[in-house]
């Protein structure tokens, strides 16, 4: 296909895509729909869509037109430098007859298809760059046209709405899980827990009445009483697990475990927690900030690292508390990220750590995973 002939078929196709995007509740399928439609509308041989992770790389990078074998030979995901970085820093459409002549162009990696005609369009919502559309090599030769650019920019506007919508649904899903857990905890406390407590009292009364009449019945009632007490303790433990975390009331350890339980329910990534030794009693302000830093590090690992496993370790050294969040994901170039990142995730964590009189270090490299280590005084 060399682009869609005539405005009417193209606009009809764009409308179909917009309707499909409006019904999508997940970000990645929405991105795949946008990718396929952009390639079709512009008549491009190659297409890609990248979601920046704010750390110098892409949290998601999808391609069309490059077969799996070629993609495997190309190797690691691209970083946000050169033309890609320019699009992220200055969110404007870029169109070239030969992208390799642009002074900002760097090079193509080994085994990468040579691409000349180029159209790059940002997907923006609320002033934030959500993703970038990259189209290359107009089918049939020649450059991308004004009509191609206009159609893809219209598609990008619909894509922005779809991505924001998907993010809201994902957030709503997480909140609904919290609310449902709270509701179940309340219902269990108000109904089942009270019933078990009443059963325990009734059984004790029955055992007292039967004590002088039937030793065998007394023995059976004692077993029922013990079972009801055990069930009551287990139910109370379950209710506490289901309740939302309150770091001031429950302490850092319990609040962290509850947060991890919630993330396990939402994300399909194993999260291991290793809490070692007797932790020092933290001041409430310290515990709250440590939990926020843990949340930020976990969010980065889950959303951007493409990790297959995450490990959290919490321990102490004297009167200092140490938190370590490790993932086996893609990693990133730390120096480049500090220089180029437009998001403040790492900066926020460092500022929180320094405000507590502590330190935060990040050990990472492309392809090597990431380890975030926080060490702060306990505050007691």
pLDDT at residue number 343: 42
pLDDT for the residue 260: 86
The pLDDT value given to residue 1 = 43
Q: Where are the beta strands (DSSP E) in the chain?
A: 44-52, 58-64, 94-96, 118-125, 128-138, 271-275, 310-317, 320-327, 359-364, 370-377
Model pLDDT, residue 339: 47
The confidence score (pLDDT) of residue 344 equals 39
pTM confidence score: 0.45
Other C-beta atoms closer than 10 Å to the C-beta of 378 total 19
Structural domains present in the chain: 7-171 (3.30.450.40), 247-380 (3.30.565.10)
3-class secondary structure, 312: strand
Contact 167, 25 (CB under 8 A): no
Give the pLDDT confidence score for residue 342 in this predicted structure.
Answer: 40
pLDDT for position 374: 94
Cβ distance 166 to 30 under 8 Å?
yes
Residue 277 confidence (pLDDT) = 66
**Contact in structure between 62 and 87 (CB atoms under 8 Å):** no
Tens-digit pLDDT profile for residues 232-246: 676 665 665 565 556
Residues 6 and 14: their CA atoms lie apart, in Å, by 13
pLDDT at 272: 92
Strand 310-317 versus strand 271-275 pairing type: parallel
Per-residue confidence in pLDDT tens, the chain, 380 aa: 445 555 677 777 777 777 777 776 677 778 888 888 888 888 898 888 887 766 556 667 788 887 666 666 665 555 555 666 666 666 788 888 888 787 777 666 666 777 888 898 888 887 777 888 889 889 888 899 999 999 888 888 888 887 777 767 666 666 666 666 666 766 666 666 667 777 777 777 777 777 777 777 777 777 787 777 777 676 665 665 565 556 767 788 888 888 888 788 767 789 999 987 666 667 677 888 898 899 889 988 887 788 899 999 998 877 788 999 999 998 887 766 654 444 436 777 888 888 888 999 999 988 899 999 999 987 65
Per residue in 215-243, is it b (16+ CB within 10 Å) or e — as a string?
A: eeebeebeebbeebbebbeebeebbeebb
Structure tokens, 263: 């993330």
């Amino acid at each position: 296909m060399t682009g869609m002939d005539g405005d009417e078929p193209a606009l009809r196709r764009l409308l179909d895509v917009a309707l499909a995007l409006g019904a999508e509740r997940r970000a990645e399928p929405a991105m795949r729909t946008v990718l396929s439609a952009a390639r079709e509308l512009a008549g491009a041989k190659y297409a890609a869509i990248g979601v920046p992770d704010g750390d110098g790389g892409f949290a998601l990078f999808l391609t069309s037109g490059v077969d799996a074998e070629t993609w495997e030979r190309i190797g690691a995901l691209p970083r946000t430098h050169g033309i890609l970085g320019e699009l992220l820093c200055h969110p404007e459409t870029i169109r070239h007859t030969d992208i390799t002549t642009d002074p900002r162009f760097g090079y193509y990696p080994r085994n990468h298809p040579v691409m000349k005609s180029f159209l790059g369009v940002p997907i923006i919502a609320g002033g934030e760059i959500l993703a970038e559309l990259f189209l290359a090599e107009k089918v049939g030769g020649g450059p991308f046209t004004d009509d191609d650019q206009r159609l893809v920019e219209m598609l990008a506007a619909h894509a922005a709405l779809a991505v924001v919508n998907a993010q809201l649904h994902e957030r709503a899903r997480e909140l609904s899980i919290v609310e449902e857990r709270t509701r179940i905890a309340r219902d269990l406390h108000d109904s089942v827990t009270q019933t078990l407590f009443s059963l325990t009292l009734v059984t004790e009364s029955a055992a007292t009445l039967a004590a002088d009449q039937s030793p065998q019945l007394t023995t059976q009632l004692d077993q029922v009483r013990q079972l009801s007490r055990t069930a009551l303790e287990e139910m109370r433990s379950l209710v506490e697990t289901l309740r939302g975390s309150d770091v001031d009331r429950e302490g850092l350890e319990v609040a962290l475990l509850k947060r991890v339980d919630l993330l396990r329910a939402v994300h399909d990534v194993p999260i291991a927690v290793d809490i070692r030794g007797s932790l020092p009693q933290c001041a409430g302000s310290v515990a709250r900030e440590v939990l926020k830093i843990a949340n930020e590090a976990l969010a980065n690992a889950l959303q951007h690292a493409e990790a297959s496993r995450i490990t959290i370790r919490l321990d102490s050294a004297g009167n200092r508390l140490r938190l370590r969040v490790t993932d086996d994901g893609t990693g990133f170039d730390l120096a480049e990220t500090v220089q180029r990142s437009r998001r403040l995730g790492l900066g926020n964590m460092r500022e929180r750590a320094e405000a507590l009189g502590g330190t935060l270090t990040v050990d990472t490299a492309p392809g090597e995973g990431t380890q975030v280590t926080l060490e702060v005084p306990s505050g007691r």
